[in-house]
Amino acid sequence: MIMERRVVITGSSAITPIGHGKDQIVKSLLSGVSGIKPLRPEEFLSRFIHSKVYGTVDYPVEYDFKRNYRKTMGPVAYYACQVAKEVLAQSGLTEEFITSGRLGVAFGSIHGSPTVQRNIYRIFFGATDKSAVKEIGAVDYLKSMVHTTAVNITKMFGITGRVIASGTACTTSSQSIGYGYESVKFGMQDAMLCGGADEYDTITVAVFDNLLACSTAFNNEPHKTPRPFDKDRDGLVVGEGAGAVMLEEYEFARKRGANILGEVIGFACNNNGGDMILPNLTGITNTLKLGVENARINPQEVDLISAHATATKMGDIIEAQAINAVFGDNPHVIGLKSYTGHTMAACGAIETIMTLYMMQEGFIAPTLNLEEIDERCTMIKHVQKTLQQPVKTAAIQNFAFGGVNTILIIRKFS
C-alpha cells in the first residue's frame, strides 16, 4: 500500500512587483495596485523591443548575506535565498531539522542568471586574445546554472535533503510546489522548501516580443496591461520576482505546534504531447481533470481559480474553455498576472501565495484591467471588483512553453 500523508503549508513569502511579504501584497491586491512599469533602458535590447512595459520590483530589498554566500549568487539567487530565509524563519523549523536530511528543496528559475550570462557573452564577443578567458569568473557557472537558486539555498542554510530544480519555464515553481508536495505526501521527505525566482531580464521580453506575444498597445500607460480575458488584451507582460512556501507533513507540523497556513490537497502535471507553444484545449482540460482526481474532490468544491491567464489572445480563450469544461461556471476565476505581469519561473509560487493570502483573509481580488470581457471568454465566472467572501478550496493553474501544464489545489486549513 502506498503511504499518503497530508501536506500543509507552514511558511510563505514572496518578492513581487506589487510588494514584498504578506502585508504589502494583500494591501496592493485590495487597492488594485499594478506592478507594471516602463521597461528600463539598457545598452542593447531595450531599444529594439516593441513592448516597453515590465512587471518590476522597483523598491529596495534589504539583504544581509555574508560574502561566503554572495560569491556564488547572481541576482536570481538573491531573490531566491531571501524568500527562502523568510520562509524558514516563519516556519519555525529548528536548525537541527533543517540540516537533518528530512528537509529538501524544490526551487528553480527559467535559465539561471541572465545578468551573469550576458556578461559572459560580452566577454565572448569582445575577445581579442587569450586573456579574455581570465575575465570569465570561476564562479560564473555557479551563478548562472539552471539550479543556481536551489543550491544556493541548500548552501546558505545547510539543507541536506533532496534537490529538485525544475526549469520548465512558466511551470517551474508550480512544479516545485507540486513535486515538493509529492515528496512529502509519499514520505520521501518530511518537509520541502519550494518555489521559484526570476530576475529582471530583457532577453525574455525579446523572446516573447519576437513571438508577437508581448503587450505593446499600452506602452504609455503600463498599469493598463496585461488585461487577462479582456476584449482589448494584447499580450503578456514579462515580470520578475520570487516566491517560496514551506510544505510539511501534517502530523509533524501539528506535533511541533507549527502555525498551519493552508493545505495542499492535489497536484497534476501533464504535457500536450505536441506543439511547444500553442495552447492545447485537450491537454489543459486533462490537466484540470487530473488535478481534481488527485485531490479526490468534486469539481464543484473549487470556489476560486487562479488562472494562468497571461493575456495572450488564444491562451486566455483556451483556458476559459478548459475551466468551463471541468468546473462549469461555479468557481470565481481571476488572473493575478494583471497585478504582477508574468513573473516566469516565479509565477506558480507567487500566484499560489497570493491565493493563500486571499484564502486566509477572506477576499477575492479582481482581475485588473478586465473592463469588457472578451465574448469568447464569458463562459466562466470572472471577478471584476473585490469580493469579501471566504475561499475554502482553490486551484492554481500554470502552463509553459514545451506544452507543460500544471494545476495545484489548496484548501483552507481546518
Partner 1 sequence: MTRQEIEREVKTVFQREFEIENPEMDADLRETYEFDSIDAIELLLAIETFLGTEISQEEKKQAINIRTINQICDYIEKIAIKRNLFSPA
Instruction: For partner 1, give the closer residue by CB, 3 or 138.
Output: 138
The site string for partner 1 over 123-152 (x = CB under 8 A, - otherwise) reads: -----------x--xxx--x----------
For residue 77, the minimal CB distance to partner 1 (Å) is 14
Q: Tell how strand 103-108 and strand 163-164 pair up.
A: parallel
Distance of CA 360 to the CA centre of its chain: 19
CB of 158 to partner 1, least distance (A): 13
> Number of residues in contact with partner 1, rule: CB under 8 A?
9
Instruction: Please state, in angstroms and rounded to a whole number, the distance separating the CA atoms of residues 155 and 70.
Output: 11
Site for partner 1 in 2-61 (CB under 8 A): none
Could you give the string, one character per residue 158-177, with x where binding to partner 1 holds by CB under 8 A and - elsewhere? Answer: --------------------
Residue 141 grid coordinates:
557557472
List the grid coordinates of 199. 530576475
To the nearest whole angstrom, how small is the minimum distance from the Cβ of residue 152 to partner 1?
13
Answer yes or no whether residue 385 interacts with partner 1 by CB under 8 A.
no
Q: Which is nearer to partner 1, 47 or 67 (CB)?
A: 67
Quote the CA–CA distance of 382 and 368 in Å, as a whole number. 11
Choose between 73 and 106: whose C-beta lies nearer to partner 1. 73
- Identify which of 145, 134, 77 has the alpha carbon closest to the alpha carbon of residue 111: 145
Taking residues 61 to 100 in sequence order and writing x for each that binds partner 1 by CB under 8 A, - otherwise, the string is ------xx--xx----------------------------
In the bound state with partner 1, the residue whose beta carbon lies nearer, of 137 and 402, is 137
CB closer to partner 1, 141 vs 363 = 141
CB of 72 to partner 1, least distance (A): 7
Say how many C-beta atoms besides its own lie within 10 A of residue 270's C-beta. Answer: 17
Considering the complex, state which of residue 149 and residue 294 has its C-beta at the smaller distance from partner 1: 149
Minimum CB–partner distance for residue 80 and partner 1 (Å)? 19
Q: Which is nearer to partner 1, 139 or 211 (CB)?
A: 139
- Least Å distance, CB 85 to partner 1, is 18
Q: Find the shortest distance in angstroms from Cβ 141 to partner 1.
A: 11
Chain centre distance of CA 20 = 14
Measured from the CB atom, the residue of 65 and 250 that comes closer to partner 1 is 65
Cα(167)–Cα(185) distance, rounded to whole angstroms? 22
**Which residues partner with 13 through β-bridges?**
244
Per DSSP, helices labelled H in 145-220 are 148-157, 172-185, 202-210
Within residues 178-217, the interface with partner 1 by CB under 8 A covers: none
Closest contact distance (angstroms) between CB of 134 and partner 1 is 6
Please answer whether residues 177 and 245 qualify as being in contact, where contact means their C-beta atoms are separated by less than 8 angstroms. Answer: yes
Residue-wise burial string across 115-129, b where 16 or more C-beta atoms lie within 10 A, e elsewhere: bbbbbbeeeeeeeee
Nearer to partner 1, 139 or 212 (CB): 139
Distance of CA 365 to the CA centre of its chain: 17
Q: Which of 182, 161, 180 is nearest to 172 (CA)?
A: 180
Classify residue 236 by burial, with Cβ atoms within 10 Å: 0-12, 13-18, 19+.
Answer: buried
Report how far residue 346's alpha carbon sits from residue 244's, in angstroms, rounded to the nearest whole number.
9
Residue numbers at the binding site for partner 1 (CB under 8 A): 67-68, 71-72, 134, 137-139, 142
